[in-house]
Amino acid sequence: MENNPTIITISYEEATLYGRLAVETTCANASAWTKLCLSALDVSSDTELQGHYLRLPWSSALTLVRQYGSKSTQLNLNFRFKLIGEAEGKIKRFLSEFKKARIDRSSIQESLTNKEINEKLFSKGFTKRTLKPFQVRDLQTLLALSNGANFSVPGAGKTTVTFALNTILRRPEDQLLIIAPKAAFQAWVDIVTDCISETAEEFYREPFTILSGSESDNASLMFSSAKRFIMSYDLMIRQQPSVLEFLARQSTHLVLDESHRMKAGWDSQRGAFLLGAAALPIRRDILSGTPMPQGPSDLASQLSFLWPGHGYENEILSGVAPRKVLGSLYVRTTKKELGLRKPIREIHDVSMAPGQLALYSIVRDEALRQLSKAVSNSEDHGVFLRAKKSVMRLLQLSSNPLLALSSMANDDVPIDSGIVDAVVEEGPSEKLKSVMSHARELARSGEKVVIWTIFTQTIKELETSLADLNPVTVYGGVPSGDKSNPDCREGRIHKFHVDKNCSVLIANPAAAGEGISLHTVCHNAIYVDRSYVSTHYIQSIDRIHRLGLPEDVETYTHIYRTKAPPHLGSIDMSVSRRLMEKIRNMQELLDDPDLLDLVLDEEAADDPLDYDVKLDDLVDLVRELEGNSTSNDFEIE
């Protein structure tokens, strides 16, 4: 006689955002429960297993539902799921989204025509900005999706398209919460008055409320009559309980601007929080012009947030091509579609002065030792951190040997006094001298220029050295504020725009690569150095090359690299090679010819290798500066 099926209940814990699975009835065959428990442990390291029940994050519980929820699977394993309370509605919604996404991944079925979209926007007061054809196309696709990914290039109007999307979809009871870097706040604040008519209903004219206060103050605002909010990623982490309560109780459209900031997933606070809360909003949208800055795995957590439990992240991590995983589940506007001229990119390789070269040789040897240790001891976090520090020191030394020397002194790294004296006597590197000369040449021609460097101290030194060009600076330590304040980020950028005597903006791509537009006044960018993070490089390029740039204007990108002898290798060449590999990966996902051009331009450049310096020359130079050379002087009678 056939055994009755095992009943496994699923319930939802609202307070913890966890799912609870329990055996309600058992039979002689307990294989279903055993398989389920093993899968739960494999799906989430946070699984709690005790006797006849298990608990795990709700998004992971949805994965189990996907894996075991089909009628055939339950029949084969002789068990049945039984949904308890709130879990029933949540799982029905999940299954509906899952089926729709599976269809949409192959082919999107647009629900509204272009004419209908424009009519809907017009009826809601969205009349002050006319959407470009490519923006309407992207909006049409996003409207057909349950949740959306907009991977358009920076400057293509992702903010405008997302605001239009929400304008069409929002109901009176719906909230809109934007999680964004602080640099992007102003664009969201401005979007309402830029797009919505003054005569539109107050519901559509409502400004964004910036959540920047204490947790109690922000909680009061979130549960007030306001319905549009902006919050930073950092504050979201510090105020998790209030944000969770808001998402759980309010009907919320959640948008992640620059969503690649959650790429670390469960391994980071922001990623873990967003993945845990992913099933709460009524709709989720992610925006990023650089969705996979380091590699395909960066997409995994973003897809898991967008479609929790669907399994797309596992496909990515198992090596399936990102483009195949995503299919039609995203939109992308390319630079070519913006009608912009291809930027002119030039690479300038500069030799080192003798003292810098000698110090580079010593630091390079130490970096090589640390990197070798890190490769052979990949699980030793301390070894890895020391290796990273050696790499950063090489990057410092490539551009600013005095800065590298200072950091080495702070770390008590012994350096021969002769080499120290030589570096100090040489002063700024040949690369920095070339960059400053180039900036002055552009200023004399009436051109403005943005100079990018990853080191704050180099920014400050350039600010002093280029004082004659009345520069402004933006880096991590510069606070946000109003453009009327000359000491804040917005005030400095405003000065760069309106002050004809301010010829130079010196900035860190990590701090100023997002959320600012310079294309109306600046068409030249100089890179003193670059990091291995492709996002910083691509985003910074797009500050001067974006929608709104006149068709007849050329933009120029100048990349300065330090030459090194072949036997030492150039750290700048390593950065260049890795950036191109990461950008090529993104190009394959997004099918963007502009990204391919970026790769090809750099690959076509000469290697920054100085073949005039031989190993024996370098050995002799180091000995000379260390005072260990053997004198070969002779006199002529």
pLDDT digits (tens, 9 = 90+) for 326-340: 888 999 998 888 888
Task: State pLDDT tens for residues 162-180.
Answer: 999 999 999 999 999 999 9
Mean pLDDT to the nearest integer, 67-73: 90
Lowest mean pLDDT among 131-135, 465-469, 481-485: 481-485
Distance CA 178, CA 257 (A): 7
- Ordered by start, the domain boundaries in the chain are 6-104, 114-333, 344-349+429-621
Residue labelled with tokens 């600046």:
522
Q: Which residues contact 440 (CB under 8 A, 6 or more apart)?
A: 466, 468, 469
Q: Which of 119, 128, 253, 139 is nearest to 200 (CA)?
A: 128
Q: Which residues contact 57 (CB under 8 A, 6 or more apart)?
A: 17, 18, 19, 44, 46, 275, 276
Distance CA 367, CA 413 (A): 13
Lowest mean pLDDT among 63-67, 351-355, 501-505, 584-588: 584-588
Class level of CATH domain 114-333: alpha beta
- Residue 14 has what pLDDT? 87
Q: Identical fold at 6-104 and 344-349+429-621?
A: no
- Residue 296 has what pLDDT? 83
Residue 150: pLDDT over 50: yes
- Residue 627 has what pLDDT? 57
Residue 45: pLDDT band (50, 70, 90) is confident
Rounded percentage of the chain residues whose pLDDT exceeds 70: 89
Task: State pLDDT tens for residues 360-419.
Answer: 888 887 777 766 766 666 666 666 676 677 778 888 888 999 888 887 777 766 677 788
Half-sphere exposure of 19 (CA within 13 A, CB side): 27
Q: Which of 32, 122, 25, 118 is nearest to 78 (CA)?
A: 32
Q: Which two tokens stand for residue 282?
A: 């009524």
- CB contact at 8 A, 73 and 35: no
Residue 160: pLDDT band (50, 70, 90) is very high
Task: Give, in order, the Cα–Cα distances in Å from 439 to each of 335, 449, 465, 472, 556.
Answer: 27, 7, 11, 13, 13
Domain at 344-349+429-621, CATH from 3.30.420.10, 3.40.50.800, 3.40.50.300, 3.50.50.60:
3.40.50.300
Half-sphere exposure of 397 (CA within 13 A, CB side): 29
Domain at 6-104, CATH from 1.10.8, 2.60.40, 1.10.3470, 3.30.70:
3.30.70
Judged on CB neighbours under 10 Å (0-12, 13-18, 19+), 318 is: exposed
Q: What is the mean pLDDT of the chain?
A: 86
Residue 617: pLDDT band (50, 70, 90) is low
- Residue 240 has what pLDDT? 93
Distance CA 106, CA 525 (A): 41
Quick one: which H or E segment has residue 384? helix 381-399
Residue 622: pLDDT over 80: no
Lowest mean pLDDT among 317-326, 463-472, 509-518, 590-599: 590-599
Task: State pLDDT tens for residues 266-319.
Answer: 889 999 999 999 999 999 999 998 888 778 888 999 999 999 999 998 898 888
- Residue 633 has what pLDDT? 42
Distance CA 11, CA 88 (A): 8
The arrangement of strands across the sheet holding 504-507 comes to 344-350, 556-562, 524-527, 449-452, 504-507, 472-474
pTM for the model:
0.79
Distance CA 175, CA 307 (A): 20
Rounded percentage of the chain residues whose pLDDT exceeds 90: 48
Question: Alpha-carbon dihedral of residues 208, 214, 219, 220, nearest 10 degrees?
Answer: -80
Quick one: which H or E segment has residue 252? strand 251-257
Q: Which amino acid is located at 205 in the chain?
A: R
- Residue 620 has what pLDDT? 59
Task: State pLDDT tens for residues 192-248.
Answer: 999 999 999 999 999 999 999 999 999 999 999 999 999 999 999 999 999 999 998
